[in-house]
Structure 1
Amino acid sequence: MSEAIFTLDAEVRTDLGKGASRRLRHADKVPAILYGAGKEPVALTLDHNKVNQAQDFEAFYSHVLTLNIGGKKVEALVKDIQRHPYKPKLTHLDFLRVDAKQAVTTHVPLHFINEDKAKAIKLEGGHAEHHMADVEIQCLPHDLPEYIEVDLLNVEMGQTLHLSDLVMPKGATLTELAKGEDHDLAVVTIKAAKVAAAEDDEETAADDGEEEAKTEE
C-alpha cells in the first residue's frame, strides 16, 4: 500500500464560519481541525478528492497520517469524519496530533480469519456471529496496528471468544479490559445454523410425541 495515501497536504484556514466552510466545499476543499498534544487547535483545509480517495482504505482510520501543513509535517490520527447525509461528500474532519512518546487511544478494526476453514462452520454447519467489528486500544504511535486478527480455525460449535482471547500486538492493550473482569466482552460466537436447530427441535418434539403415544397404549 502506497505511503502517499497517508500523506495529506493541508493549509491553515483563517476564514472561519459556516459560510466559509460552504465556499470551501464548493471549491472541492474540505475543512478540518487539528488538535491535541497540548497545543492550540488549528483550522485546516484539505483537498476533498485526495482525502476521499484515502478514506476508502480501511487503514486510513487507524494509521498514523502525515499532514503536510505549509511544508511542516505533523503526525496525526483521524478522530472523526462528517459526511453529507446523501451525497458522496465529506464535510469535516477532526485530526488528533500524536506524540511519538505519548500513548494514543483509538479504535482498530478486527479481521476474522479462517472462518471458511473452521470445522464448526465448514463441516458442522455452524456460522460465526460477530459481536463487534473493532476494538479500542492504547499504545504508542509506532506500535499502532492497522488491524487485529481473530483466528476462528479451532473455535468449536457453541464457543465464544472474548476480548481476553485476542492476541494483541506488542505494546498494545485493550482499554475495555483495563476496566475490570466484567468488561471481558464477547467478540464472536460460533452458533448452529437456525435450520439445523429447528430440525433438532422438531425431532425432539416428534420423539416426545411417540413416547406419549406408547404411554397411552
Structure 2
Amino acid sequence: MNFVAFERAKQGTGASRRLRITGRTPGIVYGGTAEPLLIEIDHNALWHAIKKEAFHASILEMELAGKTHKVLLRDLQMHPYKQQILHIDFQRVEAKTRMTVKVPVHYSGEEESPAVKTENCLVNHVVTELTVSCFPADIPEFIAVDLSGLKKGVSLHVKDITLPKGVKFVVKGQENPVLVTVAAIEEEVVAAPVAAAAPADAKGKGKGKK
C-alpha cells in the first residue's frame, strides 16, 4: 500500500490542533540513521487506509517530496469518542535490519474439523495476531492457520503451527501461548413437567351436607 505525506514544519499541541481543523493528521517518521521527520497526512485518506488490514501489518510506501520511503505503522492515536485520528507514528524500514511486527492470524477449516463436524464442540480463537521478528522482505501479510485437524479436548499452541520462512515468534509473557481452544457444547437438559395436583374428590366436597 502507498500513501502521500507532507513535511510538517511546526510542532506542539497548538500547531497540531490547528492542523486537525484543516483536515490533516500530524505524524512522525523515525528509525534508521536519519533524524525523525515530522509529517502531516490528509485525514480522510488516512481514515480509509486504516480500515484495511494490510495497512497495519505490511510495509507501506510513503510518497514524500517526490521520493518514496518504505515505512511500517507503529502507533495510532484515536480520539476517545470522535471518528478522528489524532496522531500517527511510522518507522523507517531498512532491508538489512530485523524488525518486530504484529501480524494478523487467519484461521480456516474449523467447520471441517472433527471437533465441530462430529464431536459437537465450540472453537474459540484466543489469539488474533502474533508478534514476530523477521527481515522486512519476509514480513507476511498474515499467518494462515488450518484448523481442519482439531479434535475434542485439544488446544492449539504457537509451537503447533509452522511460521513462514524467516519468521520467528517473539516471546512476550508466555513462551508457547494458546491460539485456539476446543470445548464441548453442553446439551441442555429439559426437566420433565411437574404433574398437576389431583383435584379434590368431588364427593368429598359435599360431605356433611344433607
Q: TM-score, normalised by structure 2?
A: 0.86
User: Is 1:185 the counterpart of 2:180 in the alignment?
Assistant: no
What are the residue-to-residue correspondences of 1:122-201 with 2, within 5 Å? 122-176=117-171, 183-193=175-185, 195-196=186-187
| TM-score normalized with structure 1 length | 0.83
Higher Cα Rg, which structure: 2
Q: Counterpart in 1 of 2:40?
A: 45
- Size of the aligned set, in residue pairs, is 190
CA distance in 2, matches of 1:166, 1:52: 34
Other-structure match for 2:28: 33
Which residue identity does 1:116 align to in structure 2?
A: E
CA deviations on 1:85-124 (whole Å, 9 max, x unpaired) are: 1111111101011101111111001111112222211222
> What do the CA deviations read for 1:142-178 (whole angstroms, capped 9, x no partner)?
111111011110111111111111221111111119x
Kindly indicate whether the alpha-carbon contact (under 8 Å) linking 2:110 and 2:150 is maintained by their aligned counterparts in 1: no
Distance 2:23 2:36 in 1: 23
| TM-aligned CA deviation for residue 130 of structure 1 | 1.9
Give, in whole Å, the separation in 1 of the partners of 2:22 and 2:75.
22
CA distance, structure 2, for counterparts of residue 176 and residue 187 of structure 1? 14
For 1:7-156, list aligned pairs within 5 A: 7-156=2-151
Question: What displacement does 1:38 show?
Answer: 2.9
Cα deviation for residue 59 of structure 1 reads 1.3
The runs of 4+ residues in structure 1 deviating greater than 4 Å are: none
C-alpha separation in 2, matches of 1:154 and 1:166: 12
SS in 1 for 2:20: helix
More helix by percentage: 1
Q: Tell me, in whole angstroms, the C-alpha distance in 2 between the residues paired with 1:59 and 1:127.
A: 29
Structure 2, unaligned stretches of length 5 or more?
A: 192-210
Offset from partner CA, 1:50-85 (integer Å, 9 cap, x none): 111111111111110011111121101001111111
Deviation at 1:185, TM superposition (A): 1.2
Mapped partners of 2:98, 2:48: distance in 1: 28
Q: How far apart, in 2, do the equivalents of 1:165 and 1:39 lie?
A: 40
Report the AA paired with residue 177 of structure 2: L
